[in-house]
C-alpha cells in the first residue's frame, strides 16, 4: 500500500519560536526529559519521537532537553534548548522558557549551540530559577556541570566536541533570531 501524503500529527511547524509575545521567552518542545538515560529525538518525517540511544551507565540527562520550533541551526536541526526546570516534563511537552544564555559548542567541526532557558515564574510558587535573568545568574558549578555533561554525552556518541564557552541572554536571543531567519529562508 502506497501512502500518497506525508502525515505529521504534531504540527510543531505551527508553533511560533517566541512565546508570550515577548522576545526573551521561547517555546520549546521537550524531546528528552531530565533524570533518565534514554535519549529521544523528534523525527519530522513521521511526526513522532524516536528512542535514539541509551546513555552509558552513570550518565543521565541533567535537565529537560529539546528544540525551539521554526528555527534552523548550522547542523541542519532546530536550535537545541536545555530547560532548567526542577522537575522533569515529558517527551513532546510544550514549555515556555525565559532565555538565559547560550553554550557554544562545535560538534565534528560544525556549530552546535545549546540555548539555556528557565521556567516562567508562577504565581504562588517559588522556583529555584526565578532569580535567574542571565547565564551569569546561574551558579557557576551548575553552568560548569551542564557544559561538562554536553561534552561527555556527545563524546560518548563518538563525536569530537569543542567547548567554546558560554554567552549572555542577548547573544542567545540573537542566535534564536538567526535560527528563525535560516528556517524561513529554507522554507520559503
Q: How many domains does the chain have?
A: 1
How far apart, in whole angstroms, are the C-alpha atoms of residue 174 and residue 168? 10
- Comparing 128-132, 159-163, 181-185, the range with the smallest average pLDDT is 159-163
The CA radius of gyration of the chain, in Å to the nearest whole number, is 16
Q: In whole angstroms, how far apart are CA 85 and each of 35, 52, 58, 66?
A: 11, 23, 21, 13
7: in domain:
no
Question: Taking every pair of C-alpha atoms in the chain, what is the biggest distance, in angstroms?
Answer: 56
Does 128 reside within a domain? yes
* Residue span of the structural domain in which 61 resides: 18-186
| Domain-located, residue 9 | no
Global model pTM greater than 0.85: yes
Lowest-confidence segment of 8-17, 23-32, 49-58, 166-175 by average pLDDT: 8-17
Residue at 24 is within a domain: yes
Taking Cα atoms as reference points, which of 68, 70, 63, 119 lies closest to residue 96?
119
Residue 152: alpha-carbon gap to chain centroid: 17
Please write the tens of the pLDDT for every residue from 56-73.
Answer: 888 899 999 999 999 999
* CATH code of residue 161: 3.90.80.10
Amino acid at each position: 500500500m502506497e501512502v500518497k501524503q506525508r502525515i505529521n500529527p504534531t504540527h510543531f511547524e505551527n508553533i511560533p519560536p517566541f512565546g508570550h509575545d515577548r522576545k526573551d521567552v521561547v517555546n520549546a518542545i521537550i524531546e528528552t526529559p531530565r533524570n533518565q538515560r534514554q535519549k529521544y529525538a523528534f523525527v519530522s518525517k513521521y511526526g513522532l519521537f524516536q528512542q535514539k540511544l541509551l546513555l552509558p551507565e552513570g550518565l543521565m540527562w541533567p535537565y529537560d532537553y529539546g528544540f525551539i520550533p521554526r528555527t534552523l541551526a548550522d547542523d541542519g536541526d532546530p536550535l537545541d534548548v536545555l530547560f532548567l526546570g526542577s522537575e522533569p516534563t515529558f517527551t513532546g511537552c510544550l514549555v515556555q522558557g525565559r532565555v538565559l544564555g547560550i553554550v557554544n559548542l562545535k560538534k565534528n567541526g560544525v556549530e552546535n549551540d545549546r540555548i539555556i532557558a528557565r521556567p516562567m515564574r508562577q504565581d504562588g510558587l517559588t522556583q529555584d530559577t526565578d532569580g535567574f535573568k542571565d547565564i551569569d545568574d546561574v551558579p557557576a558549578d551548575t553552568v560548569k556541570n551542564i557544559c561538562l555533561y554536553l561534552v561527555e554525552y556527545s563524546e560518548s556518541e563518538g563525536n569530537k566536541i569543542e567547548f567554546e564557552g558560554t554567552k549572555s541572554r542577548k547573544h542567545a536571543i540573537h542566535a534564536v533570531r538567526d535560527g528563525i531567519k535560516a528556517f524561513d529562508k529554507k522554507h520559503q
